Amino acid sequence: MGVLKVGTAGYKYEDWVGRVYPANLRERDFLPYLSQFVDCVEINASFYSLLSPYTYKSMVRKTRDDFEFIVKAHKAFSHEPDKVSEVLQPFKESLQPLIDAGKLGCVLVQFPQRFHNTPENREHLQKVVDWLGDFPLVVEFRHISWVRESVFEFLKQLGVGFVCVDEPKLPGLMPPVVVATSPIGYVRFHGRNAEKWHHHEHAWERYDYLYSEDELREWLPKLKQLVQQTEKTYAIFNNHWQGKGFVNAQMLRHLFSESTE
């Protein structure tokens, strides 16, 4: 029987000021403030650039002992494999402060929707494990072709966790399949803003969605299933616009705790 850790995808959002963060709170105090209310956070900046070990060391210092970080793997591993040789060692070394502090939950590898279930892409997935297998890994697929029992078995063989998702029910997108393929369970809540998912002017519009209590209750039995099958399960809210993910994280923590009493 594992544990459930609930958190948000990212924490440095200007639109959270006055909604999540007090209006006069300095940016350097965002993380310690947030860590009072959630169990973990996804670091998304690591997808776009290589963060310094000192950056992670500062994050460690600003959070309580049992707080954890999920680090999104640099885009080279999932989108630009020709650049892996440049970023592999610096990326791995940057995570050492989190490892030393026992605060690295896992590394999240997020593939694009164009990354379909093909023999070539399964070979690439094996390469990712070869590159990053020193860390606990979870992978998020964006295309429905990966929803196969054979894929789940493949992930189990690799020792890689499958990221379950909640997102709009649109053609080609991943359905809310719940499966554990490693000791780590993972769910990313992207919101259900179907209207803006593919057609938006700004990226944040896709994640402008507040889950209702009833929608979160749908996930309680699924989360309990994951918790029973894993050592640790993360529930991460990516519906970040104007702090909606923060609100939903609080709701889910309360609902899950209430349901297990």
Q: At residue 261, does pLDDT exceed 80? A: no
CATH, residue 22: 3.20.20.410
The neighbour count for residue 186, using CB atoms within 10 Å, is 26
Structural domain boundaries, residue 222: 3-259
Residues in the chain: 261
Q: Tell me which of 86-95, 179-188, 193-202 is least confident.
A: 193-202
Q: Domains in the chain: how many in total?
A: 1
Interatomic CA distance for residues 38 and 156, integer angstroms: 29
The neighbour count for residue 141, using CB atoms within 10 Å, is 23
Residue 22 has φ and ψ, to the nearest 5°, of -55, 145
User: Measured in whole angstroms, how far is the alpha carbon of residue 200 from the centre of its chain?
Assistant: 23
Q: Are 192 and 166 in contact (CB under 8 A)?
A: yes
pLDDT tens per residue across span 62-118: 999 999 999 999 999 999 999 999 999 999 999 999 999 999 999 999 999 999 999
User: Measured in whole angstroms, how far is the alpha carbon of residue 67 from the centre of its chain?
Assistant: 15
pLDDT tens per residue across span 124-164: 999 999 999 999 999 999 999 999 999 999 999 999 999 99
Instruction: Specify the pLDDT at position 37.
Output: 96
Q: Taking residues 198-206, what's their average pLDDT?
A: 81
